Structure 1
């Protein structure tokens, strides 16, 4: 089975700040997709504690170990774009 990026809003160039769709003008989530999907030209693959939404927060899964450059299974993007 091949592994590939999904045609979801998280990978769509029409996703604006605060998860607003530029085409449909509604708030969407990363699991949504539609016929107007257009893949982002470049995806940000900078996944580590510094780019994690939970870094140095109360929801961090590993607060005693979290450090720049580290990646864990609880990583969440700080920003969608």
Structure 2
């Protein structure tokens, strides 16, 4: 289980504050390994009601925007 470049440690459940809890070593976002375990998505429901622009001045389609619809200008309500 070697660590190699791959740009995915930050998406692994074992990543905590730039530290791999499996290998007990410091890692960065360009690393990954064979025991990579993807974090569960906090919220994976992109649509008008989860868009920061919905019903606002910056909504590109205010007359068409509705729940369960999505456009190419979608922006998450909260960025972590």
- TM-score, normalization by structure 2: 0.51
Q: Distance in 1 between matches of 2:12 and 2:51?
A: 20
- Structure with bigger strand share is 2
Q: Distance in 1 between matches of 2:75 and 2:52?
A: 5
SS of residue matched to 1:71: coil
Deviations along 1:58-77, whole A, 9 cap, x unmatched? 00010010001100000000
Stretches of structure 1 lacking an aligned partner (at least 5 in a row): 1-5, 14-21, 25-32
Residues 80 and 58 of structure 1: CA distance in aligned 2, closer, same or farther (over 3 Å): same
SS of residue matched to 2:71: coil
Equivalences for residues 2-81 of structure 1 within 5 A: 7=8, 23=17, 34=29, 40-80=39-79
- TM-score, normalization by structure 1: 0.51
Aligned Cα root-mean-square deviation (Å) = 3.3
Aligned length: 59
Stretches of structure 2 lacking an aligned partner (at least 5 in a row): 1-6, 19-27, 32-37
